[in-house]
Amino acid sequence: MKKAFKTTLAVALSVCMAAALTACGGSSSTSSSAPAEEAAETSTESSAGAGTTIKIGGSGPLTGGAAVYGQAVKNAAEIAVEEINAMGGIQFELDMEDDAHDPEKAVTAYGVLKDWGMQVSLATVTSAPGAAVSPSYAEDKIFAITPSGSSTSVIYADPDNLSGAYGNVFQMCFTDPNQGSASADYLAEHQALGSQVAIIYKNDDNYSKGIHDTFVAEATAKGLPVVYEGTFDDSNAQDFTVQLGQAKDAGADIVFLPIYYDPASLILTQANQMGYKPTFFGVDGMDGILTLEGFDTSLAEGVYLLTPFSADATDELTVNFVNAYKEKCGGEIPNQFAADAYDCVYAIKQACEAAGVTGDMSADEICTKLVEQFTSMTFSGLTGTEMTWNENGEVTKSPKAVQIQNGVYVGVGD
C-alpha cells in the first residue's frame, strides 16, 4: 500500500508540474508577437510600405510587483503599432519580453531580442533593468527609447555625476532628479496644500532615493521645510506606523511619497487607521494605486501625483487613445506608462519617416539616423507638446500635477 501510494502521488505531482509548466509556457514573446504578426500580415496585403518591416523590441515587467507598468506599456505599444501598420507606409513588428523588473532577466531578454533581429528598441520599462541593459545597447549601437525608465543610470554610465551618456539611449519620461525637483517646486509654489513636508522613501531603491535626494535639495533651496524623513526597505515594507507617527508628531501636513503604489497603499491604510490625514503627494510610481486589486480607493482620495498624462483630458489624441485602450483591455483606463509607450512608438515612427529608415537597414545604421533625428526634432504626443531631446537622451517636457478625486485623476493645473 505504501509503494502504490507513493507512485500515485509521484504521478499526480508530475502531472501538476507539467500543467504548471505549460501554464507559464504561454510567455510574453508568443503572445506579443502574435498581434504584431497579424498586423504585419495585414500590412503586407495593403499598400506598398517603405520596404520591409522594422523590428521594435523591448522588455518590461509583465509579471511581478510592477506588472501593471509592463502590461500597460505592452498594450499601448501594440495599439500604436497596429495603428501605424494600418496606415500603410512604414511597418513595425513588436516584441515585448518579460523581465519581471529584474536586471538579470532584462539582460537575458536583451539577448533574446538581439537574436530575433531587433533594430530599434523601447529599452525597458523600469529603471534598474534599464541600467543593466543600457551598456549593451550602447555597445551594439541599437537605438533605444524607454517610455518610463526614469533613473539617470539608464542614460548615463556615471549617473551620480551625470556624465558618460550612452548617447543612443533616450527617455520619453522625465528623469528622477527632475521629478524630485519638479515636485518640490510644485509644493513650494502651492503652499495652500501644506507647509511642512515629511518624506517616506525606500532606501534600497535607486528610483526612490534619487527622487528623495533632489527633492530635499530643491526644497531646501526654495525654503520649503522638510520636517521628517523616514525610510523603509524590502524587509520592512509592511509596518509604517512608526514613520507615520513620527511624521505626525513633527507636524507634517504634506507627506511626499517617492515610492511605488504597493507600499503606498499600506501607508494610506495605516495613516487612515491612525487618524492622520495629511496631503499625500506621490510621483509616477503612485500610478496604479487605483487598479490595485481589493484596494479601497476612497483611501486614495485627495492624493496628488505628478504625471505627464491625464486620461480625462479632452483633446482628440487623448480621447482616441483612451478609447482604443479601453477597447483592447476590457474597459481599463490607460495610465501614464501606457501613454509614454504610445508616444515612444509614434516618436520612432516620426524619426524613421524623416530619416528615410527602411527595414533592410542594419541596426547601427538606423541608430545613427535616429539619434540625429531625435536630437533635432520636436515631437508632440499624449505626454507633452513640443518635446525635445538633448544629446544625452534627456527629454524636456513639463510635468502636470493631478489629484485623485472620486476615484479618477483630475488635472489641477501647474
Residue numbers at the binding site for other proteins (CB under 8 A) = 9, 13, 20, 23-24, 63-65, 67-68, 100, 203, 230-236, 238-239, 241-243, 245-246, 249, 262, 265-266, 269, 272-275, 292-296
Edge-to-edge strand order for the sheet containing 384-389?
Answer: 379-381, 384-389, 395-396
Nearer to other proteins, 69 or 379 (CB): 69
Nearer to other proteins, 221 or 274 (CB): 274
d(CA 274, CA 245): 8
In the complex, the smallest distance separating the C-beta of residue 327 from other proteins, rounded to whole angstroms, is 23
In the complex, the smallest distance separating the C-beta of residue 232 from other proteins, rounded to whole angstroms, is 7
d(CA 356, CA 345): 16
In the complex, the smallest distance separating the C-beta of residue 229 from other proteins, rounded to whole angstroms, is 9
In the complex, the smallest distance separating the C-beta of residue 225 from other proteins, rounded to whole angstroms, is 19
In the complex, the smallest distance separating the C-beta of residue 21 from other proteins, rounded to whole angstroms, is 9
Nearer to other proteins, 269 or 358 (CB): 269
Tell me how many degrees the CA angle 332-88-351 measures, rounded to the nearest 5: 80
In the complex, the smallest distance separating the C-beta of residue 205 from other proteins, rounded to whole angstroms, is 13
In the complex, the smallest distance separating the C-beta of residue 288 from other proteins, rounded to whole angstroms, is 9
Nearer to other proteins, 29 or 358 (CB): 29
d(CA 55, CA 75): 17
Give the number of other CB atoms < 10 A from CB of residue 210. Answer: 24
Nearer to other proteins, 190 or 209 (CB): 209
In the complex, the smallest distance separating the C-beta of residue 402 from other proteins, rounded to whole angstroms, is 22
Q: How far is CA 110 from the centre of its chain?
A: 18
Nearer to other proteins, 115 or 234 (CB): 234
d(CA 387, CA 379): 5
Nearer to other proteins, 84 or 267 (CB): 267
Nearer to other proteins, 292 or 317 (CB): 292
Strands 408-411 and 400-405: antiparallel
The SS3 of residue 265 is: helix
Sequence-ordered list of residues with C-beta below 8 angstroms from that of 20, at least 6 positions apart, any chain: none
Q: What are phi and psi of 280, to 5 degrees?
A: -95, 135
Nearer to other proteins, 47 or 235 (CB): 235
In the complex, the smallest distance separating the C-beta of residue 106 from other proteins, rounded to whole angstroms, is 16
The b/e string for 266-278 (b: 16+ C-beta within 10 A; e otherwise) is ebbebbeeeebeb
The residues that bridge with 55 in the sheet, in sequence order, are: 93
In the complex, the smallest distance separating the C-beta of residue 95 from other proteins, rounded to whole angstroms, is 22
The residues that bridge with 232 in the sheet, in sequence order, are: 202
Helix or strand (DSSP H, E) at 35:
helix 28-45
Decide: residue 114, CB within 10 A, 0-12 exposed, 13-18 middle, 19+ buried.
middle
Instruction: Classify residue 62 by its DSSP letter.
Output: S
The SS3 of residue 116 is: helix
d(CA 48, CA 10): 58
Instruction: Classify residue 174 by its DSSP letter.
Output: P
In the complex, the smallest distance separating the C-beta of residue 227 from other proteins, rounded to whole angstroms, is 15
Nearer to other proteins, 51 or 245 (CB): 245
Distance (Å) of CA 396 to CA 145, 326, 379: 14, 29, 11
Q: Which ranges constitute the DSSP H helices of 157-315? A: 176-189, 206-222, 241-249, 261-274
